[in-house]
């Protein structure tokens, strides 16, 4: 009897392993092929001089032993904010925090959207994976026509392909992405795509240039495409609005001071503050709130807005902990709280308005 049970268990385990490999392959994206550089070895991308992101063994260890320092509350059934204006032709930059790393920037008659996520889960499946704890602050249907879409990398919480497809179909925006991501987008019917490497730039229109800048992170959508595409941030240089920085997803490193030296002072910086605990696991890929304040200083930001917090429970920090720690870090450096704000989902801020 026992050998039969062991045989059945063995078969079940084999089926599960094979099934996981098949799914992991199916959801993996295309790999970048191009010349070797100081951050691409011909097969994988890496951040020069930075600690390597943790591997599968460390992921399992963390998942078996992790404990949140603060709990996440019940789902917030918040009503969405009113629809933003169709355009902001002149005056200050209008910043609307939608959720996670999704921000609407309106200036000089342009509408720019970053890393859009409107789905319930950040996962290949809508029945498993990190689930949102609050609805988007703006309904997708209320978004104005998007002219520019900035994608920082291909992780599920930053490149939700269903949302991107809807935007490409509805608005046909100019999409900017890091090396290797264009092939995946084109496979999913997004055609108006410009792919950039770090330190490359592209003119969107007269008076508006998109600069691709370094970040410290990793990439991958499945089991077979880890670090097969690049990750990045962007500086938008607009003759009317000034220089606006979207940091994407990043651990802390010297690249922030380099961005400040090259482009600073910046009118606005969108800087991540969440998914930073435990530090031993997250610090190579996600900055903490106190590091975010240092980034605010490094890039010479006149006004910063927090991103990557309060929507999806991705790490061991609690629901309100990133905002609480940001407030403490600002106070410790005697930086006025209004210089680096964590907006509620759907809330807007005017940057550059005369006082």
Sign of the C-alpha dihedral, residues 262, 268, 273, 274? negative
**pLDDT score at 12:** 59
pTM assigned to the model: 0.93
Read off the tokens for 298: 């490094």
CATH topology of domain 93-351: Metallo-beta-lactamase; Chain A (3.60.15)
Residue ranges per structural domain of the chain: 93-351
How far, in Å, CA of 216 to CA of 211, rounded? 16
CA-CA-CA-CA torsion for 165, 166, 167, 173, nearest 10 degrees? 50
Q: Rounded to the nearest 5°, which phi and psi values hold at 317?
A: -75, 145
Percent of all residues in the chain with a pLDDT value above 70, rounded to a whole number: 92
User: Which of 353 and 32 is assigned the larger pLDDT?
Assistant: 32
pLDDT bin (cut points 50, 70, 90) of residue 17 is very low
pLDDT tens, 166-197?
A: 999 999 999 999 999 999 999 999 999 999 99
Closest by Cα among 263, 330, 274 to 301: 263
pLDDT tens, 248-271?
A: 999 999 999 999 999 999 999 999
pLDDT tens, 111-123?
A: 999 999 999 998 8
Q: Is the pLDDT confidence value at 155 over 90?
A: yes
């Amino acid at each position: 009897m026992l050998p039969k049970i062991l045989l059945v268990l063995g078969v079940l385990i084999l089926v599960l392993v094979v099934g996981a490999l098949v799914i992991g392959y199916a959801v993996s994206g295309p790999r970048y092929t191009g010349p070797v550089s100081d951050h691409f070895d011909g097969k994988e991308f890496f951040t020069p001089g930075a600690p390597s992101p943790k591997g599968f063994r460390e992921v399992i260890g963390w998942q078996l032993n992790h404990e949140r320092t603060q709990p996440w509350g019940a789902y917030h059934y918040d009503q969405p904010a009113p629809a933003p204006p169709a355009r902001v032709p002149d005056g200050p930059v209008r910043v609307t925090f939608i959720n996670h790393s999704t921000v609407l920037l309106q200036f000089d008659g342009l509408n720019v959207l970053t890393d859009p996520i409107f789905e319930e889960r950040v996962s290949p499946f809508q029945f498993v994976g990190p689930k949102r704890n609050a609805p988007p602050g703006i309904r997708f249907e209320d978004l104005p026509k998007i002219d520019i879409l900035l994608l920082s990398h291909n992780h599920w919480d930053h490149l939700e392909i269903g949302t991107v497809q809807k935007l490409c179909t509805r608005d046909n925006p100019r999409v900017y992405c890091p090396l290797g991501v264009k092939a995946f987008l084109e496979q999913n019917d997004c055609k108006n795509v410009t792919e950039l490497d770090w330190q490359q730039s592209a003119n969107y229109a007269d008076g508006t240039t998109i600069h691709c800048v370094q970040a410290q992170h990793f990439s991958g959508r499945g089991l077979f495409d880890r670090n097969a595409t690049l990750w990045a941030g962007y500086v938008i240089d607009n003759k009317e609005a000034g220089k606006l920085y979207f940091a994407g997803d990043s651990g802390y490193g010297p690249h922030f001071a380099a961005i400040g030296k090259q482009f600073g002072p910046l009118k606005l910086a969108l800087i991540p503050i969440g998914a930073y605990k435990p530090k031993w696991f997250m610090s190579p890929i996600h900055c903490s709130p106190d590091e975010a304040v240092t980034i605010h200083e490094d890039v010479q930001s006149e006004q910063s807005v927090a991103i990557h917090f309060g929507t999806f429970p991705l790490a061991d920090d609690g629901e309100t902990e990133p905002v609480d720690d940001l407030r403490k870090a600002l106070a410790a450096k005697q930086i006025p709280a209004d210089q680096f704000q964590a907006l509620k989902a759907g809330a807007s801020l005017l940057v550059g308005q005369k006082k």
